[in-house]
Amino acid sequence: MIKTCMRAALAAAFLALPLTTMSPASATDAAPVSLPMTLTQAVDALQTAPESREGYQRSRFKHWTDDDRDSCNTREEVLIAESRVEPTVGPGCKVTGGQWYSYYDGETVTQPRALDIDHMVPLAEAWDSGASTWSAERRTAYANDLGDERSLVAVTARSNRSKSDQDPAEWQPPLADARCTYTAQWVATKLRWDLTVDQAEQQALRELATGCGQETVEYEPAG
C-alpha cells in the first residue's frame, strides 16, 4: 500500500536521477526526466491541436484498479497517501477515517465519503487531447496513475464536480491561492502523458503563467 513516506522516497529518488532536456514527443521507454522549466516555458512546450470528443465513453478508462494486488484500489491508495494523519483502514483496504486537505477550496475533510479522487486532467479532456488514439492498456494506466502524485488528487466532491471535465480556460479552483499550483500540475500532467492543448486552453494557461513567476515544472514521461 502506498504511504506518504513512500511518495517522499520516490520523490527523492526522482530528484536524484540524471536530468536531460526533452520535448513531450521524444519520450522513450527510458523515461528521462525533464529539466525544471518556468511555468511559461512548460506551457510553451505543450503541443497544440484541435480537440474532439467523438467516440468518448468514460468506461474506456478502466478505474479504479489494484495493480499491485494488495487489496487497495487506486482510490484507496490515494486516500492513504494523502491523509495528513494515520488513516483508519479496515478489512479489504476500506479507508474509513483520516484527515485530508482539499487544496482546490481550502477545506479540511475527515470523512472519506466527502472526497472525490480527481484526475488532474479529466478523462474526457484527456480523450479530447490525444487519449482517443491510445490502447486500452495505456488509458487504464492513465486513469490509475500513481507514478506521479500530481495526476490524482483527493478533493471535496463539491469542488471536483464543479470542475467536471473542464480545462483551465473554463474552470480554476475557487481558492485563488491554489491556482498557480493547479496550473503547474495541469501542465505537468499534460506533458507527462504527451497530451495536447487547444488554442483557448493554451491562451488561458499563458495568462495564468504570467502571474505565477515562482512556479517551475518538471516531469517524467509516462512509460
pLDDT tens across 41-96, in order? 999 999 999 999 999 999 999 999 999 999 999 999 999 999 999 999 999 999 99
pLDDT for 35: 83
Low-confidence ranges of the chain (pLDDT < 50): 1-30
Provide φ and ψ at 26, rounded to 5°: -100, 15
Which residues lie below 8 Å from residue 10, measured CB to CB, with a gap of 6+?
none
Spans of all domains in the chain: 4-217
Torsion region of 121: left, alpha or beta (phi above 0 gives left; psi -120 to 50 gives alpha):
beta
Non-local (6+) Cβ contacts of 212 within 8 A are: 39, 179, 180, 183, 184
Task: Using alpha carbons, select from 50, 20, 41 the residue that is nearest to residue 32.
Answer: 20
The C-alpha cell at 182 is 493547479
Q: What pLDDT does 17 receive? A: 34
Rounded Cα distance between 179 and 62, Å, is 29
Cβ contacts of 205 within 8 Å, gap of 6 or more: 43, 46, 168, 183, 186, 187, 197
